[in-house]
Structure 1
Amino acid sequence: MTHGSTWDWQASARAAGAQPDGRFNCGAVSITHPRAIVWKRADGQVRTVSGGELQRLAGRLAGALRALGVRRGDRVAGLLSRRPETYAVALAVWRLGAIYVPLFSGFRGEGLRVRIADSEALVIVTDAANRENLGQMEGDLPPHTVAMIGGGGVETDHSLESLMQRVTQEPSLAETKIHDTATIMYTSGTSGRPKGCMIPHHGLITLSPYVTRCLAVSPDDLLFSGADAGWAYGLYTTGLAPLSMGCGRVLYEGPFDVEGWLNTARELGAGHLAAAPTAFRQIAAAGVDDRARAIKAATSAGEPLDAATFEWFQTQLGLSIHDSYGLTELGMVTANLRGPNSVALAAGSMGTCLPGFEIQLVDRGGAPVPTGEVGRIAVRDNGFLLGAGYWGRDSEWAARLQDGWWLTEDLARQDEAGRYWYGGRADDVIVSAGYNISPLEVEAALMKHPLVADAACVGEPDPVRGQAVTAYVVLREQAPADLDKVLRRWVGERVGRHAAPRRVEARTELPRTASGKLQRANLRTGGM
Structure 2
Amino acid sequence: MTSLDFKTLIAPENYNLANEIDKHFSEKRALIWENELGEHESISYSVLIKKANKFANGLTKLGLKKGDRVVVMTTRLIESYVIYLACLKAGIIISPSSELLKAKDLVYRLNHSEAKAIITYHRYVKEFENINESTPFLKFRIAFGQEVPNWLSMEEVMKEEPESFTTVETQKDDYAFLAYTSGTTGMPKGVVHSHGWGYAHLRIAAPKWLNISESDTVWATAAPGWQKWVWSPFLSILGSGATGYVYNGKFQPHKYLQILQDKKINVLCCTPTEYRMMAKLDDVSAFNLSHLHTAVSAGEALNREVIDVFKHHFAIQIRDGYGQTESTLLIANLNVDAEKIGSMGQPLLQEFIEIVDDNGQPIPVNQVGTIAVRKDFPALFKLYYKDSEKTNHAYRGDYFLTGDRASKDVNNYFWFQGRNDDVIISSGYTIGPFEVEDALMKHQSVKECAVVAAPDPIRGNIVKAFVVLKDGFSGTNDLIRELQQFVKSLTAPYKYPRIIQFVESLPKTDSGKIRRVDLRNSQR
Q: What TM-score does the superposition give when structure 2 sets the normalisation length? A: 0.92
Q: Would the alpha carbon gap of residues 241 and 366 (structure 1) be closer, same or farther in structure 2, given more than 3 Å must change?
A: same
Which residue in 1 is equivalent to 2:17?
26
The answer for the alignment partner of 2:312 in structure 1 is: 315
**Residue 524 in structure 1 maps to residue 520 in structure 2:** yes
The alignment status of 1:335 with 2:332, answered yes or no, reads yes
Once the two structures are TM-superposed, the CA of residue 500 in structure 1 deviates from its matched residue by 1.5
- 2:372 corresponds to 1:375: no
AA matched with 2:14: R
Distance 1:114 1:374, change over 3 A: same
Q: CA deviation at 1:366?
A: 3.0
Post-superposition shift, 1:443?
0.9
Find the partner of 1:86 among 51, 72, 80: 80
User: Which amino acid is 1:491 matched to?
Assistant: V
Aligned to 1:272: 267
Which residue is equivalent to 2:48? Answer: 54
Partner AA of 2:412 in structure 1: G
1:404 aligns with 2:398: yes
Say which SS state the counterpart of residue 458 (structure 1) adopts. strand
Work out the CA distance in 2 between the residues paired with 1:70 and 1:174. Answer: 12
1:187 aligns with 2:181: yes
1:510 Cα deviation (Å)?
Answer: 0.9
CA distance in 1, matches of 2:457, 2:274: 39
Would you say 1:254 and 2:254 are equivalent positions?
A: no
Partner of 1:426: 420
Which residue of structure 1 aligns with residue 493 of structure 2? 497
1:144 Cα offset (Å): 4.0
Match of 2:3 among 5, 16, 28: 5
From 112, 134, 144, give the equivalent of 2:128. Answer: 134
Q: Is the 2:285–2:313 contact (alpha carbons within 8 Å) kept by the matching residues of 1? A: no
Matches of 1:41 and 1:329, distance apart in 2: 31
Q: Distance in 1 between matches of 2:426 and 2:206?
A: 41
| 1:277-292 to 2 correspondences below 5 Å | 277-286=272-281, 287-292=283-288
- Quick one: percent identity of the two aligned structures? 31
Q: CA deviation at 1:170?
A: 5.2
Q: Would the alpha carbon gap of residues 517 and 191 (structure 1) be closer, same or farther in structure 2, given more than 3 Å must change? A: farther
Q: Tell me the distance in 2 between the aligned counterparts of 1:337 and 1:493.
A: 29
**Distance in 1 separating the partners of 2:158 and 2:308:** 51
Asked if the contact 2:51–2:163 (Cα under 8 Å) also holds between the matched residues in 1, the reply is: no
Unaligned runs of 5+ in 1: none
Conserved 8 A contact 1:81-1:129: no
Aligned partners of 1:459 and 1:467 also within 8 Å: yes
Distance of 2:389 and 2:503 partners within structure 1 = 40
Quote the Cα distance in structure 2 between the aligned partners of 1:121 and 1:345.
50
The aligned amino acid for 2:260 is A
| Contact persistence 1:457–1:470 (CA under 8 A) | yes
Q: Distance in 1 between matches of 2:445 and 2:88?
A: 49
Change (3 A) 1:168 1:312: closer
CA distance in 2, matches of 1:357, 1:104: 34
Write out aligned runs for 1:454-473 (5 A). Answer: 454-473=448-467
Indicate the SS of the match to 2:184: coil
CA root-mean-square deviation: 2.3
Checking the alignment, whether the CA contact within 8 Å between 1:322 and 1:336 is kept in structure 2 is yes
8 Å CA contact 2:53, 2:163 repeated in 1: no
1:391 aligns with 2:385: yes
- Per mean C-alpha deviation after superposition, the further-off stretch among 397-406 and 440-449 is 397-406
Is 1:163 the counterpart of 2:143 in the alignment? no
Aligned to 1:36: 30
What is the TM-score when the length of structure 1 is the normalising length?
0.92
Q: Which runs of 5+ in 2 are unaligned?
A: none
Deviation at 1:110, TM superposition (A): 2.9
Write the mapping of 1:446-457 to structure 2, written as runs, cut at 5 A: 446-457=440-451
Aligned to 2:169, the other structure's residue is in SS state coil
Are residues 135 and 522 of structure 1, via their aligned partners in 2, closer, same or farther at CA, if it must alter by over 3 Å? same
- Does the 8 Å CA contact 1:66/1:171 hold for their aligned counterparts? no
Q: Contact 2:352–2:377 at 8 Å: present in 1 too?
A: no
Letter matched to residue 94 of structure 1: L
Aligned pair 1:513/2:509, yes or no? yes
| Cα distance change, pair 495–383 in 1 and its aligned pair in 2 (3 A) | closer
Is residue 292 of structure 2 the alignment partner of residue 298 of structure 1? no
Q: How does 1:356-375 map to 2 (within 5 A)?
A: 358-375=352-369
445-454 vs 395-404, greater mean Cα deviation? 395-404
The 3 A distance-change label for structure 1 pair 101 and 356 is farther
Q: Deviations over 1:321-359 (max 9, x none)?
A: 010000011111011237xxx866733111111147621
Correspondence list, 1:434-445, <5 A: 434-445=428-439
Using a 3 Å threshold, how does the CA distance of structure 1 residues 458 and 387 change in structure 2: closer, same or farther?
same
Q: Which amino acid aligns with 1:28?
A: N
Post-superposition CA distance 1:198-247 (Å, at most 9, x none): 01002322221221111111111111111012112112234212311222
Looking at structure 1, the residues matched to 123 and 151 of structure 2 have their Cα atoms a distance apart, in angstroms, of 15
Q: Is the 8 A contact 2:33 2:78 kept in 1?
A: yes
- Does residue 97 (structure 1) correspond to residue 91 (structure 2)? The answer is yes
